[in-house]
Structure 1
């Protein structure tokens, strides 16, 4: 069956067939690493080379590894949050403690996420290796980029993605885009980690550009980026996305040590209130453009309450903010306003 499929590809799609041809280990080593002293490399770099030699085809090797990295990291990070949510002890740090996610919601979320991964992301991964080569990004090559350069590259990717996501996310709150694309993601007014990629396929593709365009943009100016660095960046980005949707804010959460880090506290408010807090990793775009004013007003009112009354005040504030958010959402669905905070003032539709 495999040989018949390959014959058909060679006849009707020779370019695709060429990329799917594999060679034996000896040939692969000679072709990929003929002039490389593998013995002088680190264990990780030797393992990297061994994987590409074993696969015998860089296109398939990169595609498969890219998909596995995404799936293993995403679900590997989501599972601990599901376990935490099932343990009552941790509920004291839950941002919206009165909302519980059902098993049916978790199952639906898992199905939608997997469907999107396999129908939207997996087919595109075949193109990843050729695109990397086109932009001059190293793939199978060893050694890797030095750590100081790698750290600077990842920092740039974080800043670029945060900027891209802020504006793309705000655009998705514009009436027609919200109603037809972004509304699915907002089914979770109290998000869970698994819901980080619970979204319309178009939204997944749009927001993914912020993650992957940074590395390609970098390649236009420098030729020292390795795909291994991109995998580290994607891992960190997935951790950030899942954690931001976790619904928990612990005393040891990163935002308590980095004041400009957004975290779950920031993004959970966005899901609850519909408006404000459009950024992903950092708070500065929302701060500079004033799209965090409701968030800060809510926090200030809760903080001003006495210790005795704080729980009751917080509950009342949560209810009022969510009610206002529902009104803003309905306005967006009707095509009114410009997304974000426009169209709602003092809790009333304008």
Structure 2
């Protein structure tokens, strides 16, 4: 991290508190860093152990964003006014179900996800993920995250659909389908093997990207994880609002798309977008079934001609 400090004595800053680090960075005349970049640099200098700093950052970010985004949905589930927006209005998760799900998710976070999170920094160093300030431009961050969303969606579709076959569903994916009407906390309620397999798409795709492109920043991964968690929790919320994102971006999946998957147990396998289910004819629900039957009818009539 020393190249971010320029003319500031590194040994002085690394022995300072977080606030003192920030103040010295803020007072440095030769540094042109944003507020967020100064906070980032001050944090790494204060911790003074890059492996621990990245592990703590990623784990804290994951817990804060996952449960922070799940909490509003829990509150909404408790307010009768919002029932009119509930996709499966008769299936409101009980406090007991929420509590059982919470315990399972916490166990998964600490016993399954924590290990790879805490050892991510050494991998980042080996493959060339930068973690020094300044950050990339917002245009580059947007481009990288857009690529990750598209590639992760393909990964998720392929492996999620695979998990619905035979023994894979019976012994692995069935746990996630315990709730036919999903709710926010249930986004990561899954068998450990499923957590690792589908989670590999979230973490492995940035690793593969930087391996070939040699251009990625750790801050970009933090933004990516934040947005991916928002997407996953919201997709399991069970609510459809007039302002839901898919009304403005028709190719976005959203809760209405994934709720049908839980309700019918098949179809709608993608995570973020609708195009793979459309192209590969795996859309779920009665409307999609009628459309398939109509296409089959027309096809059969053409054969008779």
Q: Normalising TM by the smaller chain, what interval?
A: 0.7 to 0.9
Aligned partner of 2:303 in structure 1 is none
Q: Equivalent residue of 1:153, what SS?
A: helix
**8 Å Cα contact 1:171/1:177 also seen in 2:** yes
Normalised to the residue count of structure 2, the TM-score between the two structures is 0.85
> 3-state SS of the aligned residue for 1:250?
coil
Cα root mean square deviation, aligned:
1.9
- Deviation string 1:279-321 (CA, Å, 9 cap, x unpaired) is 0100010000000164533698xxxxxxxxxxxxxxxxxxxxx
2:157 aligned with 1:145, yes or no?
Answer: no
The within-5 A match list for 1:223-242 is 223-242=214-233
What is residue 70 of structure 1 aligned with on the other side?
62
Deviations 1:124-144 (A, max 9, x none): 2221000111111012x1100
Residues 1:285 and 1:154: Cα distance change in structure 2 (over 3 Å): same
Find the partner of 1:110 among 102, 105, 108.
102
Structure 2 Cα separation of the partners of residues 26 and 38 of structure 1: 16
SS where residue 141 of structure 2 aligns?
helix
Q: Structure 2 unaligned runs (5+)?
A: 1-9, 17-27, 292-305
| 1:160 matched residue in structure 2 | 151
CA contact (8 A) 2:77 2:93 kept: no
The 1:142–1:273 alpha-carbon spacing in structure 2 relative to 1, beyond 3 Å, is same
* 2:255 is equivalent to residue 264 of structure 1: yes
User: Deviations along 1:233-256, whole A, 9 cap, x unmatched?
Assistant: 111000000000000010000011
How much does 1:38 deviate?
Answer: 6.9
1:172-211 aligned within 5 A: 172-211=163-202
Return the alpha-carbon distance in structure 1 between the equivalents of residues 235 and 134 of structure 2: 34
Distance in 2 of aligned mates of 1:293 and 1:110:
28
Look up the match of 1:17.
none
Secondary structure of 1:101's match?
coil
**Aligned pair 1:99/2:73, yes or no?**
no
Q: Contact 2:59/2:118 (CA < 8 Å) preserved in 1?
A: no
Q: Residue 37 and residue 63 in structure 1: after superposition, are their counterparts in 2 closer, same or farther (change >3 A)?
A: farther
- Equivalent position of 1:85 in the other structure: 77
After TM superposition, give the deviation of residue 27 of structure 1 in Å: 4.8
Rounded Cα–Cα distance in structure 2 between residues aligned with 1:114 and 1:227: 25
Cross-structure match for 1:250? 241
Distance change in 2, residues 1:86/1:55 (3 Å): same
Q: Which residue of 2 aligns with 1:46?
A: 38
TM-score computed with the length of structure 1 as normaliser? 0.74
What SS does the corresponding residue of 1:39 show, helix, strand or coil? coil
Corresponding position of 2:277: 286
> In the aligned structure 2, how far is the partner of 1:117 from the partner of 1:38?
42
**For the residues of structure 2 that align with 1:188 and 1:25, how far apart are their CA atoms?**
54
Q: Does 1:136 align with 2:131?
A: no
Is this contact kept in 2: 1:38–1:46, CA < 8 A?
A: no
Counterpart contact for 2:129–2:217, Cα < 8 Å: yes
Shift of the 25–73 alpha-carbon distance from structure 1 to 2, 3 Å rule, reads farther
Cα deviation, residue 39, structure 1:
3.1
For 1:216 and 1:252, how far apart are their aligned partners in 2? 34
Q: How far has the Cα of 1:231 moved from its partner?
A: 0.6
The answer on whether the counterparts of 1:269 and 1:295 sit within 8 Å (CA) in structure 2 is no
- Does the 8 Å CA contact 2:260/2:284 hold for their aligned counterparts? no
SS in 2 for 1:40: coil
Task: Give structure 1 stretches of 5+ with no counterpart.
Answer: 1-22, 30-35, 301-350
Query: Aligned to 2:48, which of 56, 62, 66?
Result: 56
User: Which runs of 4 or more aligned residues in structure 1 lie more than 4 Å from their structure 2 counterparts after TM superposition?
Assistant: none
